[in-house]
Structure 1
Amino acid sequence: MNAPSIIPAVPAVRSAEERVGRLDWPALAAELDGHGCAVLSKLLTPAECAAIAALYPQEAHFRSHVHMARHGFGQGEYRYFRYPLPDLVGGMRTALYPHLAPIANAWNGRMGEATRYPAEHAAFLTLCREAGQTRPTPLLLQYGAGDFNCLHQDLYGDLAFPIQVAILLSEPGRDFTGGEFVLTEQRPRMQSRAEVVPLRQGDAVAFAVHNRPVQGSRGPYRVNLRHGVSRLRSGQRHTVGIIFHDAR
Structure 2
Amino acid sequence: MTLIPLTERINAIDAGNLEDQLNAWGSATVSSLLAPEECDAVAKLYATDAPFRSHIRMARHGFGKGEYKYFAYPLPETVLALREGLYPLLAPIANDWNERMNIDTRFPDRHADYLSRCHDSGQVRPTPLLLQYSEGDYNCLHQDVYGELLFPLQVAVLLSEPRRDFIGGEFVLTEQRPRMQSRAEVLSLAQGDAVVFAVRNRPVRGTKSTYRVNMRHGVSRLHSGTRHTLGIIFHDAE
Answer whether TM exceeds 0.5 for this pair.
yes
Aligned to 1:47: 37
Q: Distance in 2 between matches of 1:19 and 1:100?
A: 15
Q: Select the residue among 105, 112, 123 that pairs with 1:122.
A: 112
**Residue 57 of structure 1 pairs with residue 35 of structure 2:** no
Aligned to 2:91: 101
Aligned to 2:57: 67
SS at match of 2:34: coil
Aligned to 1:215: 205
**Residue 33 of structure 1 pairs with residue 29 of structure 2:** no
**Residue 78 of structure 1 pairs with residue 87 of structure 2:** no
Aligned to 1:147: 137
SS at match of 2:45: coil
**2:6, 2:34 within 8 Å by CA — same for their partners in 1?**
no
**Residue 201 of structure 1 pairs with residue 191 of structure 2:** yes
Aligned to 1:177: 167
1:17 CA drift (Å): 2.6
SS at match of 1:55: helix
Q: Distance in 1 between matches of 2:9 and 2:114?
A: 22
**Residue 230 of structure 1 pairs with residue 220 of structure 2:** yes
Aligned to 1:4: none
Aligned to 2:146: 156
Q: Over residues 80-115 of structure 1, what are the superposed CA-to-partner deviations in whole Å (9 max), with x where a residue is unaligned?
A: 000000000001100000000000000000011100
Query: If the length of structure 2 is used for normalisation, what is the TM-score?
Result: 0.98
Runs of 4+ in 1 over 3 A off after TM superposition: none
Aligned to 1:90: 80
1:198 CA drift (Å): 1.2
Q: Distance in 1 between matches of 2:150 and 2:121?
A: 11
Kindly provide the amino acid, as one letter, of the partner of residue 50 in structure 1. Answer: D
Kindly provide the amino acid, as one letter, of the partner of residue 118 in structure 1. Answer: P
SS at match of 1:157: coil
1:15 CA drift (Å): 3.9
Instruction: Indicate the RMSD between aligned Cα atoms, in angstroms.
Output: 0.9
**2:174, 2:184 within 8 Å by CA — same for their partners in 1?**
yes
Matched pairs, number: 235
Query: If the length of structure 1 is used for normalisation, what is the TM-score?
Result: 0.94
